[in-house]
Amino acid sequence: MKVTGDVYALDATKGNYAYLILSEEIILVDTGRPGQGKAILNELKSMNIKPEDIKHILITHHDIDHIGNLALLEEETGASIWASKEDIPYIYGEKNREGIKRFLSFIFRIKKPGKINPFPEDHKIGDISVIPTPGHTPGHVCLVYKDVLFAGDLVRTSKGQIEPMQSFINWDTDLSLESIKKVGYLPFKWICPAHGGPVKRNGEWNINM
């Protein structure tokens, strides 16, 4: 699904969207839940994009439905993998997730990727700005490319409305709400969340907390 001229929500991951950015270097944002990897590759093929055309994979946070195909796509693309230094230990399994997320990590045994790079200290990957937005996970980030905010699980959308994620799946809900407020000062026009469809920002960043 085309969002803007060079941003696509991958239909293969509908319900927990991964996104494709066609900048100077093609970039994938998140990798969907386990089992969606082949469908992602097929969708890329339908867009005349070869696996090796993907140069970077950016992970917004460590949840299973965002890293579910990371190892497969790393092998297929040879892309550089980036995530926050706070969330990398959870991706590698060096730290245990909490609550229901820990339970899910036992059910879905995910192959670990090879090398994960921590986001650069200048918070830049090419034309993309990395915005630390902790709360949903310790190292959750949002990404800004041109006028598009890739929100990860900072917020979700439902019937065109923007809502915070349910508190029971947050690492620290109070911190997450602070991150939501902080992001509202950024000058973006589109919100691309993982859960719910992309929506155009309509004036103020009014979210029912």
80 beta partners: 56
Residue 147 lies in a domain: yes
Q: Tell me how far apart the terminal alpha carbons of the chain are, to the nearest angstrom.
A: 29
Per-residue tokens: 98: 């909490």
Residue 205 lies in a domain: no
Residue 88 lies in a domain: yes
Tell me: the pLDDT tens digits for 29-69?
Answer: 999 999 999 999 999 999 999 999 999 999 999 999 999 99
Question: Measuring CA to CA, which residue among 81, 153, 150, 84 is closest to residue 112?
Answer: 81
* Cβ–Cβ < 8 Å for 195, 136: no
CATH code of residue 20: 3.60.15.10
Residue 175 lies in a domain: yes
* Cβ–Cβ < 8 Å for 4, 147: yes
Distance, in Å, from the CA atom of 197 to the CA atom of 62, rounded to the nearest integer, reads: 21
Q: Of 99-103, 117-121, 149-153, 159-163, which range is least confident?
A: 99-103
Q: What is the pLDDT of residue 103?
A: 56
Residue 150 lies in a domain: yes
Domain boundaries, position 89: 2-200
Distances (CA, A) of 160 to 78, 111, 115, 197, 205: 36, 35, 37, 8, 13
Three-class SS state of 173: helix
Residue 62 lies in a domain: yes
**Model pTM score:** 0.94
- Mean pLDDT calculated for residue range 179-194: 94
CA 51, 57, 63, 65 torsion: positive or negative?
A: negative
Distance, in Å, from the CA atom of 126 to the CA atom of 145, rounded to the nearest integer, reads: 9
Overall domain count for the chain = 1
Residue 170 lies in a domain: yes
Residue 116 lies in a domain: yes
Pairing of strands 124-125, 155-158: unpaired
Tell me: the pLDDT tens digits for 72-104?
Answer: 999 999 999 999 999 999 999 888 777 666 656
Distance, in Å, from the CA atom of 13 to the CA atom of 196, rounded to the nearest integer, reads: 11
